[in-house]
Structure 1
Amino acid sequence: MSSKDQEFYSKLSLRPFDPVTDVDDFMVWASDDRVTQFCSWDSYTAKEQAIEYITKNVVNHSYYKVICLNNRAIGAISVILNEGNDKCRGELGYVLGSQFWGKGIATWAVKMVVSTIFEERPELERVEALVDVENVGSQKVLEKVGFVREGVLRKYVVQKGRTRDMVMFSFLRTDGS
Structure 2
Amino acid sequence: MGENRDEKIKINLRPLEISDMDDFMAWASDERVARFCTWEPYTSRDEALHFLTNIAIPHPWLRAICVGDRVVGSISVTPGSGTRSCTAELGYVLAHEHWGRGIATEAVKVVSSTIFREWPLLQRLEAFVNAENGRSQKDLDKAGFVREGLLRKYEVIKWKPRDMIVYSLLSGHVS
Smaller-chain TM-score range? Answer: over 0.9
Higher helix share: 1
Aligned equivalents of 1:48, 1:94: Cα separation in 2: 22
Query: 1:147, 1:171 within 8 Å by CA — same for their partners in 2?
Result: yes
Give the structure-2-normalised TM-score: 0.94
Map of 1:115 onto structure 2? 113
Query: 2:148, 2:165 within 8 Å by CA — same for their partners in 1?
Result: yes
How many aligned positions are there? Answer: 171
By how many angstroms is 1:54 displaced? 1.4
Map of 2:27 onto structure 1? 29
SS of 1:146 mapped into structure 2? coil
By how many angstroms is 1:162 displaced? 0.6
Map of 2:7 onto structure 1? 5
Where does 1:28-177 land on structure 2 (aligned, <5 Å)?
28-176=26-174
Query: 1:149, 1:167 within 8 Å by CA — same for their partners in 2?
Result: yes
By how many angstroms is 1:25 displaced? 0.5
Q: CA offsets, 1:123-147, max 9 Å, x none?
A: 1000000000000000000000110
Percent identity of paired positions between Structure 1 and Structure 2: 49
Give the structure-1-normalised TM-score: 0.93
Which consecutive unaligned segments of at least 5 residues does structure 2 have? none
Q: CA offsets, 1:137-172, max 9 Å, x none?
A: 000000001100000000001110111000000000
Which consecutive unaligned segments of at least 5 residues does structure 1 have? none
Query: 2:17, 2:52 within 8 Å by CA — same for their partners in 1?
Result: no
By how many angstroms is 1:5 displaced? 2.6
Query: 1:31, 1:44 within 8 Å by CA — same for their partners in 2?
Result: yes
Aligned equivalents of 1:40, 1:156: Cα separation in 2: 13
Farther off after superposition, 48-57 or 123-132? 48-57
By how many angstroms is 1:53 displaced? 1.4
By how many angstroms is 1:84 displaced? 1.8
Map of 2:13 onto structure 1? 14
Letter in 2 for 1:161: W
